[in-house]
Amino acid sequence: MEKTATCSQCGQQFLLIAMELKFYKRMGYPEPVNCPKCRHKKRQEQRGWRDFHKRVCDQCGRRIITIYSPQSGDIVYCEKCFQDYCNHVDPLRGLKPPETKIKA
């Protein structure tokens, strides 16, 4: 006994298979109202998952992938520049704010 339901999020029809329906019943969960795609998305959002953005290193201009969006205004460094940054920080004086640009 399969069942077709309409996703309340995107309006697309999705199939609920018997095994799934049984599972929800057994666990006392309500039947899902979202398609697997939207459920997956929701779960990722709840986990604090963020999209990856293609950006360039603020220090050397190398292309990098980061979780910080360009709109966030955060300074991003590639792996190498981040290493350089760490090497330039005096551990006794603590970390400099990340806005500090490294003088090569």
Which phi and psi angles does 23 have, rounded to 5°? -60, -45
- Among 38, 66, 76, 85, the residue binding Zn ion under the rule CB under 5 A is 38
Decide: is 10 part of the binding site for Zn ion (CB under 5 A): yes
> Using CA atoms, how far apart are residues 76 and 98, in angstroms rounded to an integer?
9
Nearer Cβ to Zn ion (28/30): 30
Cβ neighbours of residue 40 closer than 8 Å, sequence gap 6 or more = none
**Residue 57 within binding range of Zn ion, rule CB under 5 A:** yes
CB of 51 to Zn ion, least distance (A): 18
Query: Which residues in the 59-78 window bind Zn ion by CB under 5 A?
Result: 59-60, 62, 78
Nearer to Zn ion, 66 or 78 (CB): 78
Q: Are 50 and 72 in contact (CB under 8 A)?
A: no
